Structure 1
């Protein structure tokens, strides 16, 4: 059945232009004007009403919590939340139970994702057995089973020898290795960024070097192994400096930043507030400035949310005992668009590159992040002009642990299509 999206604003040669988009058999058949004269009348017509139609957003860092932690999120709820945020492809981290650390477990996860998800799910395998051990997975086996990359996200690989052997194995298998960078010997049980704010609140701090030291170690190992080394949720000025220098040296290193690290600092923590507890933590204004500079100069390759839903009970009480992590997939585009594009710090096409095109390219997701004839009809219709308030009751994730609740933003997702089928429609949620 053919679907025609009429009066869409699409990016062409860095400009928004009005076009119609014809979808057939799940793919984009044509882009242009008066398509019905050439192709005949479509059975289904969607009026975009001159709103922006983007290639579906791509988030390579989400936690779907399924199996094993389904009180927090499920594949179904997490991917519906992704569609609400405009995402049509997500990368599911392996910190679930059981950990996808064998070809058989990865294959089972791939099948479960395919059956239960509302959007495309690319599945990570872990780097090591159980995600926290020193025993490496079968890299070639997990790739054959469907893994698109490997990560121990939530835990840093603690020994250089294990990381080097992992990088060699991942490189041989052709798998990107996405690293949660955290040296446990330097971490010292902190719950927020080390510095004056932590001291004033009487909370234990996490210092910058616990992240940057592993980044510095790993870029040398990446150079020696030839792996595509990807730094997850970079948060410190020192890490940005090391990554920038590594790129200049020709090392195959990429990195992501999460919206919360680009938008907030530890100075936003005015009290013991678990809604602002995450790992890595919100850093200093100096670190945020370095991240923004890295985003604007290309040191930071992509934006990824680190969507980490928790139950309400897990995010209550003190930062000392509450769980690390916030949700982000439903608020990422709007908060980034409002802060960077509306203020003209960044162009719209650059934001789409960071949140769609480039993550798909970096991780070999060949069908994602495109709006062109022949590509899958993974599309998002966004109202760029309407200001709205982010409200917990409008979120489709099980987790409402977001510091952005109450923010007034632009960039309201009206509809998301996956393979030409509507998987989220704002009017359908009323």
Structure 2
């Protein structure tokens, strides 16, 4: 099976170059011009005036399967990822049952492979049941196929539990991806405490609920040497501590979500619960700090925190609605439109944040690069024509995003996984 991609602007070796790509048996066989007679291959893709990117990588998605499949399934979630140009994702463990044993992880890994249309890496939980203080068998879940650990959705509340978890994870060679939130500092808040929460009459939680746990965990990570990753970092105080810790050699990385990068609590309206997520939208100075941190290297990657919900989960009453928005199908276009086209970030840096860096940090061999011999995991985007994000185009079961209706650039035209087309845009 051979595929030839012609005339594209290809991101390879840290540069954008005009070149062709020859794919054979699922791998990149050659880069260059006049590689082969186009009539002799099985498929020819004309990528003229299009960007050919390494398949994007999202280390933070929720597929709700098993246990909450009315919200999403492995199949629909992975189709949504492909629609957004993602070829590798990391599935969080907040499902029922929680994948907290080697047997459960092995079962999830098998299902991910058979039911997903993209590569799905599986998180194991840090603690049994995800909310306890009993540690998982880290060596066992790693052998069964877990690529990292997370208690996603809840911070580990006891310092002693996190310390022992970091020691065990370091010994097993597994990263810890932490939702950082001290629940004793929430005080019943439903959004970030501040001027906007007061205007809306919605209980607010101080942003120190995040930064206090970041401070704790950085000290513990420094002592244990664990590979420590902060999920959806959102405050300027957290960023300042991470920057300082990196300078001191603490093994810490972090991700930012598109919604925290592009929105603030100023956009929240009491009736629109699509602006409700956890961590909540922060203040405009936090958003500015996040965007600056993309450029200076404090933030290592962009991850969507794709969190699909049903319509019933997201009523008009902001305070009663579930946390979370979808992101797989809007992330690249929103970030390209509002960060790259507006001049605050280079296209090359965006591709590093959404492909190369996640592959390097989470040791995802064969992902994140366009190189000869690598698996042909590719995304092809149209950067030149504006389009409207429409709910009718979503492949996810979840429609809960405030980005619906936006006019953006960066439409996914093709997504290839192991050389096979898993998403192709419909012709207008």
Preserved CA contact (<8 Å) 1:201 1:272: no
Preserved CA contact (<8 Å) 2:88 2:119: yes
Distance in 1 between residues matched to 2:89 and 2:288, nearest whole Å: 28
Preserved CA contact (<8 Å) 1:206 1:281: no
Preserved CA contact (<8 Å) 2:391 2:399: yes
Does 2:6 match 1:6? yes
Does 2:308 match 1:309? yes
Preserved CA contact (<8 Å) 2:270 2:318: no
Q: Secondary structure of the residue that 2:318 maps to in structure 1?
A: coil
* Larger displacement relative to structure 2 (313-322 or 41-50): 41-50
* Larger displacement relative to structure 2 (185-194 or 355-364): 185-194
Preserved CA contact (<8 Å) 1:368 1:376: yes
Corresponding position of 2:54:
55
Q: Secondary structure of the residue that 1:91 maps to in structure 2?
A: strand
Does 2:155 match 1:156? yes
Distance in 2 between residues matched to 1:2 and 1:194, nearest whole Å: 56
Corresponding position of 1:169:
168
1:373 Cα offset (Å): 0.4
Q: Could you state the TM-score of these two structures normalised by the residue count of structure 2?
A: 0.98
1:16 Cα offset (Å): 3.1
Distance in 1 between residues matched to 2:144 and 2:205, nearest whole Å: 37
Does 2:30 match 1:30? yes
1:188 Cα offset (Å): 1.8
1:14 Cα offset (Å): 5.1
Preserved CA contact (<8 Å) 1:152 1:180: yes
1:272 Cα offset (Å): 3.5
Q: Secondary structure of the residue that 1:61 maps to in structure 2?
A: strand
1:168-317 mapped onto 2 (5 Å cutoff): 168-317=167-316
Q: Secondary structure of the residue that 2:319 maps to in structure 1?
A: coil
1:189 Cα offset (Å): 2.0
1:214 Cα offset (Å): 0.3
Preserved CA contact (<8 Å) 1:18 1:50: no
1:33-112 mapped onto 2 (5 Å cutoff): 33-36=33-36, 41-112=40-111
Distance in 1 between residues matched to 2:286 and 2:324, nearest whole Å: 19
Preserved CA contact (<8 Å) 2:270 2:317: no
Distance in 1 between residues matched to 2:408 and 2:213, nearest whole Å: 36
Distance in 2 between residues matched to 1:232 and 1:264, nearest whole Å: 17
1:419 Cα offset (Å): 0.2
Q: Could you state the TM-score of these two structures normalised by the residue count of structure 1?
A: 0.98
Corresponding position of 1:379:
378
1:343 Cα offset (Å): 1.4
Distance 1:13 1:229, change over 3 A: closer
Distance in 2 between residues matched to 1:341 and 1:317, nearest whole Å: 33
Distance in 2 between residues matched to 1:69 and 1:11, nearest whole Å: 38
Preserved CA contact (<8 Å) 1:177 1:229: yes
1:11 Cα offset (Å): 2.5
Q: Secondary structure of the residue that 1:423 maps to in structure 2?
A: strand
1:12 Cα offset (Å): 4.6
Preserved CA contact (<8 Å) 1:31 1:373: yes
1:129 Cα offset (Å): 0.3
Corresponding position of 1:146:
145
Distance in 2 between residues matched to 1:245 and 1:57, nearest whole Å: 29
Distance in 2 between residues matched to 1:14 and 1:223, nearest whole Å: 31
Corresponding position of 2:119:
120
Post-superposition CA distance 1:181-237 (Å, at most 9, x none): 011110122111111111111111121110000000000000111001100000111
Preserved CA contact (<8 Å) 2:13 2:370: no
1:17 Cα offset (Å): 2.5
Corresponding position of 1:20:
20
